[in-house]
Amino acid sequence: MIVLFTDFGLEGPYIGQMKARILRDLPGAAIIDLFTDAPTANPKAAAYLLAAYADEFPAGTVFLCVVDPGVGTQRPGVVVQADGRWFVGPGNGLFEIVTRRAAIISKWELAWDENSVSASFHGRDVFAPVAARLERGDKPVGEARSASWNAFPDWPDDLAEIVYIDHYGNAMTGLRKGFVNPSFVLQANHVYLKSARTFADVPSGEAFWYVNANGLVEIAINKGNAADVLGIGLGSGINVGGEGSGSGKFR
């Protein structure tokens, strides 16, 4: 399958145009919309989200990923093979965490004729055709690079920030479950949060943190919108403490 991970949104022509280009080159391809609302123009936040969700897909899956505020600049286009999964998109850090957590890595830098593609839509004109080729079983195009090429070593292994707000107002962080334990108290915008296993384990209207189905620490309110009530959004920092006082109830 080809999995789309973009910040395009569902409105407008962009997702449809990318799918049309894939299907032109590979009729009948199975295309999955994983995220159409990845963190807008924020490849760093998106990198932690992508790594958590890509892990659920089998080897051989092709991820076509576009969170690309630098489209048309000198940032490279890349193909990454990480533990058997393929990733195609801009070389702006979007694949940093996927690469870092993989045991087996290969990288290629893409090249294209600037006169034959749009300067502002590499997702359709560059990355979609490459994704179709990989799904068809063709060899990667481009120049092979070392595994350490185009790395972002200053990014932490786990990011103590909000990286995604879902439809319900739940706030995902870039922290994995192994970074915290249930006794820890988190602080988000001056509110102390204790852990719970799931929503029904706390009273209605109470804020808490839990480990979501994809292994990320997430902040939520039972029957409420955590982002609105707590005043947090993409990029909001999270303080992580050991056992201590503080209440998950919003005051």
pLDDT digits (tens, 9 = 90+) for 96-113: 999 999 999 999 999 999
Do 104 and 132 share a domain, yes or no? Answer: yes
DSSP assignment letter at 23: H
pLDDT digits (tens, 9 = 90+) for 58-105: 999 999 999 999 999 999 999 999 999 999 999 999 999 999 999 999
Residue 8 lies in a domain: yes
End residue of a domain, out of 111, 145, 179: 145
End residue of a domain, out of 116, 145, 174: 145
- Alpha-helical segments (H) within the chain: 14-25, 43-54, 96-101, 122, 128-136, 226-230
Do 133 and 23 share a domain, yes or no? Answer: yes
Average pLDDT for 218-235: 97
> Contact 65/5 with Cβ under 8 angstroms?
yes
Global pTM reads 0.94
Do 140 and 163 share a domain, yes or no? Answer: no
Do 100 and 222 share a domain, yes or no? Answer: no
Do 233 and 185 share a domain, yes or no? Answer: yes
- The boundaries of the domain holding residue 67 are 2-145
Q: How many domains in the chain?
A: 2
Average pLDDT for 9-32: 96
Residue 32: is its pLDDT beyond 80? yes
**Mean pLDDT score across all residues of the chain:** 94
Dist CA 79 CA 129 (whole Å)? 12
Give the end-to-end CA distance of the chain in Å, rounded to a whole number: 46
Do 8 and 122 share a domain, yes or no? Answer: yes
DSSP assignment letter at 31: E
Nearest to 33 by CA among 23, 19, 47, 12: 19
Residue 152 lies in a domain: no
Residue 151 lies in a domain: no
Percent of the chain with pLDDT over 70: 96
Do 51 and 126 share a domain, yes or no? Answer: yes
Do 125 and 167 share a domain, yes or no? Answer: no
DSSP assignment letter at 51: H
Which pLDDT band holds residue 217 (cuts at 50, 70, 90)?
very high
Domain harbouring 35, CATH code? 3.40.50.10790
Residue 131 lies in a domain: yes
Residue 249 lies in a domain: no
Do 196 and 229 share a domain, yes or no? Answer: yes
Which pLDDT band holds residue 128 (cuts at 50, 70, 90)?
very high
